[in-house]
Structure 1
Amino acid sequence: MSAVALVPVASLGVLVGLAVPALAGRFTPSPGHPPRPSRPCRWVWLSPAVTGVVFVGLAVALRADPALPVFLAVASVGLVLAVVDLACLRLPDSLVLATALLALGGLSGAALLADDPGRLLGALAGAAVAGAAHVLLALLPGSRLGFGDVKLAAVLGLPLGWLGRDALLAGLLLPHLLHGGLVLGLLAARRVRRDTLLPLGPALLAGAWLAVLLA
């Protein structure tokens, strides 16, 4: 994709990024989950730049793939989910469901457009594998993995499965490497304690994005 063609994609990403904080604010705080404004709000001004980079990265990686609009839509809702999870350690079911419907409906349409139903089957298999793997992780003794994370991982398995086995495997591994590295860094800096709960949703989304870039 040429640099000129990337300009409207980046512009769209910036516009979406401007809307992310307001949309996320509709879901924070919630009863039983007090807000943590010092963390997300300090960086909220970065949202348009981050979204622009995310959109451009997807456009470069997917190029002429008919599912590119689907990936951009999933990324848009995913960024809202990331901000909400950072703010109050929750992944609202309504947003996760919206992401699932966007991914499933969009990928079904892309498969019809490309006359390639096998890729849709791959997407469904990816969701099943990602969901099952995270259910097992959540059931491990001492696991802090919430079922909101499990549901998001399963949804992200749809676009990753669309891209194939390698993207799916990378999307399963990278989030936990990112999250683990962050936790170790924060522990070393004494910014958190061993019992501090940290959101996994942003790492799931970032890892999925990186997996697409590497696919």
Structure 2
Amino acid sequence: MSTGLLACVALLGALAGLAAPRVARHFTAPLAPRVAGAASNAVRDAGSTPRVVEAAPGVVRVAGTVPSAGWGATAGAVAFAGLAAALGADPVLPVLLVLAAVGLVLALVDLACLRLPDPLVGAAALVAAGGLTGAAATAGSPGRLLGAVAGAALCFACHVVLAVLPGSRLGFGDVKLAAVLGLPLGWLGGSSLALGLILPHLLHGVLVLVLLVSGRVRRDTPLPLGPALLTGAWLAALAA
């Protein structure tokens, strides 16, 4: 892909990132802060009501606070440019760009209030299923749809197992998002699918370890997994 076209895609990503916080605010609800040090009961479920969570000892984060548009623009530009550079003229690129735009909103909502709303996850699923079907027809490779469906099924099964383990903090919003991300990862191939399964949990584990060592969170502090799922899938797509 030419430098000029790559710059245009990055600009498109920046615009999507600028819009992402505005969209994300429709799925978050500001709530009154609780007393610092109070126990946190946040339930990470796509259908649950957003709750105030304790971000660290003595620090309370109010659900519904969405990061700035500048953050979104930077993340959008990087995400779009990376996909364009990695995939070039592949017919699946537009599908992944739209998924990346929806993913930016999902990440912002999850960071704000530990939720992955069903309408957003459902929109991502429709984009992935419809877009990959169109890409298969354009590329003349309908067999790749089987890989996409298999990828979704495998991601769903693996994350259901993780969610039902004793003491698991994995919510079923995460399970549904993982299944949706399994569609494009399965399309891209076995290596991308394997990376997409492993990388999110490695990234999340390293982040949790750093936060624990720095004293910014406790062992019982709820943390969002959605951004790690999305980042891991993005990195796996870059390696396709």
Q: Which interval holds the TM-score relative to the shorter structure?
A: over 0.9
Give yes or no for contact 2:16–2:73 (8 Å, CA) kept in 1. Answer: yes
1:57/1:37 Cα in 2 relative to 1: closer, same or farther (>3 Å)? farther
Aligned to 1:19: 19
Task: State yes or no: 1:133 paired with 2:158.
Answer: yes
Matched to 1:4, the amino acid is G
Task: State yes or no: 1:77 paired with 2:95.
Answer: no
> In structure 2, which of residues 79, 82, 86 is the aligned counterpart of residue 57 of structure 1?
82
Offset from partner CA, 1:138-192 (integer Å, 9 cap, x none): 1111111000000000000001011000000000000000000000000000000
Mean Cα deviation higher: 31-40 or 192-201: 31-40
The RMSD of aligned alpha carbons is 1.6
Give the drift of 1:33: 2.1
Superposed counterparts of 1:96-175, under 5 Å: 96-175=121-200
Give yes or no for contact 1:85–1:202 (8 Å, CA) kept in 2. Answer: yes
Partner Cα separation in structure 2 for residue 64 and residue 14 of structure 1: 20
Aligned to 1:28: 28
Give yes or no for contact 1:29–1:87 (8 Å, CA) kept in 2. Answer: no
Aligned to 1:66: 91
Partner Cα separation in structure 2 for residue 114 and residue 19 of structure 1: 31
Give yes or no for contact 1:6–1:56 (8 Å, CA) kept in 2. Answer: yes
How many equivalent pairs are there? 215
Rg: which structure is higher? 2
Aligned residue for 2:51, secondary structure, equals coil
- Consecutive unaligned residues of structure 2, counting only runs of 5 or more, are 31-48, 54-60
Give yes or no for contact 2:50–2:64 (8 Å, CA) kept in 1. Answer: no
Partner Cα separation in structure 2 for residue 29 and residue 99 of structure 1: 22
Give the drift of 1:32: 4.5
Partner Cα separation in structure 2 for residue 110 and residue 68 of structure 1: 9
